[in-house]
């Protein structure tokens, strides 16, 4: 269950980052990029807890 959740976080994070490249305005672009990166690293943290 935890692995499935982390894979979903990876996919959502990458998808949000990919959407941000198509954003016309810079504010939206950076906001989506930051959200995507946060989701991506949360996915890594879920797979490899300290």
Domain residue limits at 34:
2-47
**Is 0.85 surpassed by the pTM of this model?**
no
Token code pair at residue 21: 């490249």
The closest of 21, 46, 45 to 33, measured between CA atoms, is 21
> CA-to-CA distance for 28 and 20, rounded, in angstroms?
7
pLDDT of amino acid 12: 81
Give the chain's domain count: 1
CB 32 within 8 Å of CB 40? no
> CA-to-CA distance for 4 and 46, rounded, in angstroms?
10
Mark the ranges of the chain whose per-residue pLDDT is less than 70: 21, 23, 49-50
CB 40 within 8 Å of CB 10? yes
């Amino acid at each position: 269950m935890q692995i499935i959740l982390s894979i979903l976080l990876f996919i959502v994070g990458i998808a949000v980052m990919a959407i941000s490249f198509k954003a016309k305005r810079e504010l939206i672009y950076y906001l989506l990029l930051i959200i995507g990166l946060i989701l991506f690293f949360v996915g890594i943290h879920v797979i490899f807890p300290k």
